[in-house]
Amino acid sequence: MPSLAVKLYSIFFKLQQRYVVHNLTKAPIHGADPFGVTSRREESTAASNPSFNDGVATKDIHIDPFSSLCIRIFLPDTVVSPDLVTCEERSKDGAFVYSGYSPQSGAKHKKLPVVLQFHGGAFVGGSNDSVRNDVFCRRIAKLCDVIVVAVGYRLAPESRYPAAFDDGLKVLNWLAKEANLAECGKWMGNGRRRMDAHVFDGFGASMAEPWLAAHGDPSRCVLLGVSCGANIADYMARKAVKAGKLLDPVKVVAQVLMYPFFIGSNPTASEIKLANSYIYDKSTCMQAWKLFLPEEKFDLDHPAANPLIPGREPPLKFMPPTLTVVAEQDWMRDRAIAYSEELRKVNIDAPLLEYKDAVHEFATLDVLLHTPQAQACAEDIAIWVKKYISLRGHEFSY
């Protein structure tokens, strides 16, 4: 059984979630909001810091002018030599201009794999710049030695399905565009290769994101989803398989699904036995699904909710290697286990990590982040992910 501290925290968290979901249910939403929101005022946020604070530099980018879609980039300090960990630029008069990491021109840079991370929050809460997500992404960036791109997708009910899934696809395509722009910038008009060039827009600003251009290797891309973010990650993996070479140079080599937010019309044993379990109970999650899925056709066997409905494309045998993390005290565990089993039946490398006495979001939620079990989970994920990011040229398509 979970510890007394976890039980007490679960009671507080469930009350808070019920309050948030109840208010969202009662709040008037006048039609779909294309711009949307990516965070709630109840969520405490962490400011970005472009210097290598605690071994990781971060920056926020708003990548879509027509919506609130944004990303936070986490860059570990392994990309630079120790004497360049801090960097400060000043104007001629000594006034402060910028303090943070900026890749050196004309130098070869260390390339790191890219992890696209999708936060949890039942599609109605959470954010990519929350304190808890910031801590978790820093941990993954350091343990895996990767660049983490945390996606701030639009939340429901302001932006219902498919907004969050479309946002994930936009980021994947944005990553491909950035990689192609960076490659274009390495060549001069006479065909000679140069290391310090960039493609500039009409205002003279670099169009290629400098951290990703210098250090990102999109041919080793991993999708990592937490709770409802795992649903988005699995959707993204399917889209990447369908796109094939159209996403070049981005190649999804693996995905990590942490306690997926799967559900279906036919309840599993855990959905019945643990319906009132810790952290997230089924009734609150049902309200969240009603706020997220299309109002005119509410169906728990919707492709966004149930990964095992027949006829989903592509066939499972084309899916990338998939690591699934489940918690013993999570009512959603059985469907995630079943999905992992189906992947193994078609010879996909799909290991299952089950943590005893653990609750939903035990490795990513506030105070639980600092427990030995949360640290062990992150380390287990890093061991498996490194197996695939050390390999180049893996491609999954049909």
Instruction: Pick the catalytic residue from 119, 215, 302, 360.
Output: 360
Vertex 350 angle, CA 315 and 252, to 5° = 65
Q: Is 330 a catalytic residue?
A: yes
Instruction: Pick the catalytic residue from 227, 270, 277, 340.
Output: 227
Q: Is 349 a catalytic residue?
A: no
Instruction: Pick the catalytic residue from 129, 217, 234, 330.
Output: 330
Q: Is 93 a catalytic residue?
A: no
| Catalytic residue ranges | 227, 330, 360
